[in-house]
Amino acid sequence: MEAHEIFLDLPIKRSHGDLIAYFADALTSRLPRDVVPIRFVVTETTGECYRCEVGVISGGPAGLIDDRLGIFRFRDRKIHGGDGFNVVYMVPTGIGAEIGGHVGDAGPAARLLATTCDRLITHPNVVNAADLNELPENGVYVEGSVICRLLMGTIGLQPVRSNRILVVIGEHKVEKITNYSINATNAARASCGYQCTELLRLDPPFDMKAYFTSSGRAAGRVEHLERLLDLLAARRGQFDAVALNTIIEYPEDDIIAYYNGPDDSVNPWGGIEAILTHAVTHALNVPSAHSPQLNEYKSIPVGVGHPVMAAELISAAYLQCILKGLSRSPRLIVDPEAMLNRNVLTAADVSCVVMPDRCLGLPTLAALQQEIPVIAVRDSTNRARTDLSMLPWAPGKLLYAENYLEACGLLSALRSGVAVESLRRPLHRLETPIIRPSWDMEPAQARLSAAG
């Protein structure tokens, strides 16, 4: 069984209306029967096509095949705006975002955005920084595919006090590195009080090979995925979340180039981590996160690294960030009746989505169709090449911010009910056309009076 990415050019839909159904239908006719989509992005729009990159599982079990287009299932939220002001903040993994393109460097933005809302729903790519994870007190830590399904209306989030975490590490050929992972897990138990109830050493582990796509996004291939999924399926019910710590293969020269490269270089292993955790969460409906084990590149002389990469250079196991996040990651509720419980967070409770500009994937499409406001933060480096303004947004549902400081102002305006346009100049005039009804007013008024 493998998880990997495929690339498709789909004809442009001139109205850009109901794109979720359009993409689902297009993939049905183009993908082999045994291929299950788990991640979908539009990397570029041209005058003729949507350039799409689709993360898939191939050779999966029958249960996955029967629900092969599950990520495109959409359930309209019946009400808008539930209890509180809840914000989704996401930075797609592997696109080289100006903020959030490296190891946890969107953490400060998350902390700031969290001050404007009751709950900030975010994902590992935003706050994970090797041994560091400054998830805000009101932060909700979920895997990226869970954000997709939350906005699509097909999953709910139930808060928990703590999770039983199953830790799975790859048996490393260097014993010292395996010991780093074991010691990190025990440190989390002893010093943080996390419930790491079982640690498994997978030998041989599944294989993870990272690469870049033609669009410049980080991606990869996970081979022998059944070694992991079979292991987890056999222990179903004995854990609430899965922490994964394994090797990612990548050419040493490219790793050196990354650490010594410019500010807009793309983290090479984030993309394949997203593919893996999407696969695990899609198959099992449990929270999951991955951190890379040290490879031989740890001995490469990097010197003083760039600040946005520095967290990777001070860690031995990279495990603490995901153990902290998973320790209180919410339970995933998929039963529609259970999702009606007032303690379960659903799409109806989401007030706004904040993300880098130009990112077009299922979360964006779901927000569009659910009429959830989106704040697109200008970003000069990310590899996405789409124009969000081309989509058929309802008035006031797509807002642009020059930076995260401005995004906080927009969130405050939305929360307080202040019209954003009233805070900007020039303020356009409302025209006052004269309306002359073509019908007889007296009979109409009489009908209204009779109805009253």
**CB neighbourhood size of 285 (10 A):** 14
- What residues are paired with 400 via a beta bridge? 376
**Given this model, what pLDDT does residue 64 score?**
57
Q: What is the mean pLDDT of residues 414-434?
A: 91
Q: How many residues does the chain have?
A: 452
Place of tokens 């050419």: 251
Say which range, 257-271, 360-374, 407-421, has the weakest mean pLDDT. Answer: 257-271
pLDDT, mean of residues 367-388: 96
pLDDT band at 309 (very low <50, low <70, confident <90, very high): confident
| 243 C-beta neighbours (distance < 10 Å), count | 29
Q: Name the pLDDT band for 334 (thresholds 50, 70, 90).
A: very high
In this model, does residue 123 exceed pLDDT 70?
yes
Buried b (16+ CB within 10 A) or exposed e, 17-52: eebbebbbebbeeebeeebbbbbbbbbbbeeeebbb
Q: How much of the chain, in percent, has pLDDT values that exceed 70? A: 92
Query: What tokens does 182 get?
Result: 């074991």
Can you give the pLDDT at residue 225?
A: 95
pLDDT at 262 over 80: no
Confidence category of residue 384, pLDDT binned at 50, 70, 90: very high
Helix (H) / strand (E) element for 10: namely: strand 2-11
Computed over every residue of the chain, the mean pLDDT equals 90
* Contact by Cβ (8 Å): 112, 256: no
Q: Which amino acid is it at 283?
A: A
Indicate whether 302 pLDDT > 70: no
Alpha helices in 56-102 (DSSP H): 62-66
Quick one: which H or E segment has residue 30?
A: helix 19-30
Residue 260 pLDDT > 90: no
Determine which of 160-174, 287-301, 370-384 has the lowest per-residue pLDDT on average. 287-301
In the sheet that holds 398-401, the strands lie side by side as 139-141, 119-122, 86-89, 350-356, 374-377, 398-401
Distance, in Å, from the CA atom of 177 to the CA atom of 182, rounded to the nearest integer, reads 9
Residue 258 has pLDDT above 80, yes or no: no
Asked if residue 410 lies in contact with residue 375, where contact means CB atoms within 8 angstroms, the answer is: yes
Question: pLDDT digits over 285-299, tens only?
Answer: 999 999 999 775 555
Cβ neighbours of 276 (radius 10 Å): 25
Euclidean distance between the first and the last CA atom of the chain, given in angstroms as a whole number:
66
Confidence category of residue 316, pLDDT binned at 50, 70, 90: confident
Judge whether 52 and 43 are in contact, CB under 8 Å. yes
Only one residue has tokens 């990397």, namely 43
pLDDT value at 187 more than 70: yes
Q: Which residues contact 334 (CB under 8 A, 6 or more apart)?
A: 154, 155, 156, 285
pLDDT value at residue 437? 75
- For residue 292, the model assigns a pLDDT of 92
| pLDDT score recorded for residue 228 | 95
What does DSSP assign to residue 385? B
Q: Where are the domains of the chain?
A: 2-72
Task: Answer yes or no: is pLDDT of 335 > 60.
Answer: yes
d(CA 92, CA 391): 19
Q: What's the chain's Rg over C-alpha atoms?
A: 23
DSSP secondary structure code for residue 37 in this structure? E
Specify whether the CB–CB gap between 77 and 150 falls below 8 A: no
* 97 vs 93: CA distance, rounded Å: 8
Cross-strand partners of 157: 332, 345
* Residue 365 near residue 393, CB atoms below 8 Å: no
116 neighbors 411 (Cβ within 8 angstroms): yes
Least confidently predicted of 186-200, 400-414, 420-434: 420-434
SS3 107: helix
Task: Record the tokens describing residue 429, joined without a space.
Answer: 């005039």
Residue 19 sits at φ, ψ, to 5 deg, of: -70, -25
What was the pLDDT predicted at 82? Answer: 66
Place of tokens 């902290």: 324
Which among 120, 101, 118 is positioned nearest to 110, based on CA atoms?
120
pLDDT tens track for 195-227: 999 999 999 989 999 998 988 899 999 999 999
Question: What pLDDT, on the 0 to 100 scale, is given for residue 192?
Answer: 96
Largest CA distance in the chain: 90
- Higher-scoring residue by pLDDT: 393, 68: 393
CA distance 145 to 143: 6
